[in-house]
Amino acid sequence: MAELTVGQKVNLTIGSQATVLKELGRGGQGIVYLVDLGGTKMALKWYHTPPEDAFYKNLEHNVNAGAPSDAFIWPEYVTVKENGSYGYIMKLRPEGYYEFGNYLLALKNFKSLDAMLAAAMKICEGFRMLHLKGYSYQDLNDGNFFIRPSDGDVLICDNDNVMPQGQKSGIMGKARYMAPEIVAGGVPDKYSDRFSLSVILFMLFFANHPFEGAKVVSCPCMTEAFEKRFYGSEAVFIYDKDDPSNRPVRGIHQNVIKRWPLFPSILKNTFIEQFSKEKLQKPNERLIEQEWEKIINRVRDELVICPNCHEETFVDMDASNYNCINCGKSIDTSKRLKYGLRELILTPQTKLFIDKDNTPDAEVGFFPTDKNLLILKNLTTGTWNVDTPKGKVKVVKPGEFMPILNGLKIAFGTSLPNDPNAKGEIEA
Ligand SMILES: [Zn+2]
């Protein structure tokens, strides 16, 4: 087993040297060290035993290609092969981010539903960019994600197994996150990544594995053979619409039992469909990342501030359920911003996310001198052009606001990467 010592210098292929400062942690594949590289503190992952040459070449390729998005803590430099192994250098994980597993155990909690949705969006966007660049992640699991509870920002780590589509890293993925076809012996690809993504999203929202219900509880001892059945050939979604055999169990699966009723139908129905027995068998019909982003946008459109208790709540448009999940009072959903097929509910203090990044684009408030008149504040960096029903055009600059009045049409301008012809329309 190759280990490094404090003070030891490691040569990088670009010619510079990194100095080992201390060990940060170790796992099955290798040890992570804090290193100094030209005055900057970085992390070095050093493999216990050097993986084969193809792995090294792939690592070099990924370093040269660069990170797919800022969500990835990506390999930045590769070391030369020396001291019986090799490794790669990446940025240090900043303070304030916690492993996803902490959220599943409720050791960490999102500050808000808003932050939770932001995390979901960031994960989808990271995987969209990864697949767009022709990679597959292959080893997606709860240990790869670090999330900031305050705003849901996500960092995706352990990117050394990322491979071009169709190539095999030799990593099969972690049990419980592998797609059924991989459990059965297939090669991981973007389709199996998409399965893993659905699992991660489900766990993010409900803090329970989608296949872990009564069946798993009744299993005397989780052997490899059982694992292959429960997560592979006989996988049953805990809320399968036709098969109730694997429902969550009271006293054991409390998170999902508590949370499932609180989320909007659009989200629950998407999971029911994605984890249906039919879809589990058809990898190429799984929801692609852009579709997931649209779903999360729709869920975000239904996240409002309750005018009664001033807490976050969902209004379930598809189920016509407008009762606050906290105080139970009915919420007035008559004021809306229609945008394409979306309907964003306008209640005071609610932030609107028009595009799919995690920066709010508008916020509902009160007119300064008239608390009966609601306004929409422009939080974007661009100017909005607002058409009135009488044909007048008003300009709403960044930081300014417009009244929420029936029939006003808003062109959000170029600061939002949307269809330039798409306009929002107020219904009030
Ligand atoms: Zn309320």
Q: 330 CA distance to ligand 1 centroid (A)?
A: 8
Q: Which residue has the higher pLDDT, 340 or 110?
A: 110
Among 249-263, 293-307, 365-379, 406-420, the range scoring the smallest mean pLDDT is 406-420
* 41-68 confidence digits (pLDDT tens): 999 999 999 988 989 999 999 999 999 9
The neighbouring-strand residues paired with 247 are: none
| Residue ranges making up the domain that contains 281 | 98-291
pLDDT at 226: 82
Q: 279 CA distance to ligand 1 centroid (A)?
A: 37
Inter-residue contact 278 to 242 (CB < 8 Å): no
pLDDT at 171: 52
Instruction: Examine residue 68 and state whether it is found in any structural domain, yes or no.
Output: yes
* 375-398 confidence digits (pLDDT tens): 999 999 999 999 998 989 999 999
Q: 333 CA distance to ligand 1 centroid (A)?
A: 13
pLDDT at 307 over 70: yes
**31 and 107 assigned to the same domain:** no
Mean pLDDT of the region 395-408: 96
Tell me how far apart the alpha carbons of residues 183 and 293 are, in angstroms, rounded to a whole number.
27
Q: 306 CA distance to ligand 1 centroid (A)?
A: 5
pLDDT at 170 over 60: no
**174 and 230 assigned to the same domain:** yes
Q: 310 CA distance to ligand 1 centroid (A)?
A: 6
Model pTM above 0.85: yes
**To 10 degrees, what angle do helices 265-274 and 289-301 make?**
160
- Give the tokens for residue 324: 């606050």
* DSSP secondary structure string for all residues of 268-292: HHHHHHHTSHHHHT-GGGSPPHHHH
> Hey, is 126 helix, strand or coil?
helix
Which of 291, 324, 352 is at the close of a domain?
Answer: 291
Q: 314 CA distance to ligand 1 centroid (A)?
A: 10
Q: 373 CA distance to ligand 1 centroid (A)?
A: 21
pLDDT at 262: 96
pLDDT at 174 over 70: no
CATH number of the domain residue 116 falls in: 1.10.510.10
Tell me how far apart the alpha carbons of residues 246 and 286 are, in angstroms, rounded to a whole number.
22
Tell me how far apart the alpha carbons of residues 416 and 223 are, in angstroms, rounded to a whole number.
51
Q: 304 CA distance to ligand 1 centroid (A)?
A: 10
CATH number of the domain residue 65 falls in: 3.30.200.20
Mean pLDDT of the region 349-362: 94
Q: 62 CA distance to ligand 1 centroid (A)?
A: 48
**86 and 102 assigned to the same domain:** no
Q: 152 CA distance to ligand 1 centroid (A)?
A: 23
pLDDT at 123: 94
Mean pLDDT of the region 397-408: 96
pLDDT, the chain, mean: 91
Listed in sequence order, the residues at least 6 apart from 145 whose beta carbon sits closer than 8 Å to its beta carbon are 99, 100, 123, 154, 155, 156, 157, 200
Q: 316 CA distance to ligand 1 centroid (A)?
A: 14
Q: 324 CA distance to ligand 1 centroid (A)?
A: 5
**242 and 384 assigned to the same domain:** no
Q: 311 CA distance to ligand 1 centroid (A)?
A: 6
pLDDT at 98: 95
Sign of CA pseudo-dihedral 302, 303, 304, 309: positive
**84 and 102 assigned to the same domain:** no
Instruction: Examine residue 216 and state whether it is found in any structural domain, yes or no.
Output: yes
Q: 405 CA distance to ligand 1 centroid (A)?
A: 24
Instruction: Examine residue 297 and state whether it is found in any structural domain, yes or no.
Output: no
CATH number of the domain residue 344 falls in: 2.60.200.20
Q: Which residues have a beta carbon within 5 Å of ligand 1, which is an ion?
A: 306, 308-309, 324, 326-327
**162 and 188 assigned to the same domain:** yes
> Hey, is 255 helix, strand or coil?
helix
pLDDT at 367: 95
Mean pLDDT of the region 317-345: 95
